Each structure stands twice: as structure tokens, then as C-alpha cells.
Amino acid sequence: MIKILLFAELQEEAGTDQVEVDKAGETVDDIKSWLQQQYHFTSLEQTMVAINESYADENEVVKDGDVIAFIPPVSGG
């Protein structure tokens, strides 16, 4: 199992701040596609991704027990 953490508008759109799924062995891109199908996010493509608190790219493979965070861009002033 892996834990997916959602922040900001992703959290609001999904109605939860985290999801646990059996997606070990898949890439970050595969997981993004799955999330898009499940929740129809409007801003998933612009998100930064971190695995176990280290930024990751789309081709990185997720292992059992990993925590993946999807962090949308933040604006402010």
C-alpha cells in the first residue's frame, strides 16, 4: 500500500486529504492518471510531486510503504 497526500484544491476536489491504495510498482505518472480518472482534478498537471519528502519526477517507480504528496502551485503576495 502507498499513501497519497493531497493539498490545497486537490484536497477540496477529492473531499479528503489522503488516500491509501495498492499501487506499488507503478510510476508517478501512472498514479497521476489513476487519480485523474477517480477524482477529475482540474489542476493535477501543474502539481509538484514528492515521494517520502523528496521531490520526484513522473517516471519514478513507487514502492510499498511510500508516501506520495501532490502539491499544487501556490500563489501569494
In order along its 77 residues, the chain shows pLDDT tens digits of 999 999 999 999 999 999 999 999 999 999 999 999 999 998 888 899 999 999 999 999 999 999 999 998 876 55
Confidence (pTM): 0.91
Give the 3-state secondary structure percentages of the chain, helix then strand then coil, rounded to 5.
Answer: 30, 30, 45
Structural domains in the chain, CATH included, are 2-71 (3.10.20.30)
* 24 neighbors 12 (Cβ within 8 angstroms): no
Q: Is residue 45 classed as helix, strand or coil in its secondary structure?
A: helix
Strands 48-51 and 18-21: unpaired
**Partners of 6 in the β-ladder:** 70
What confidence score (pLDDT) does residue 44 get?
87
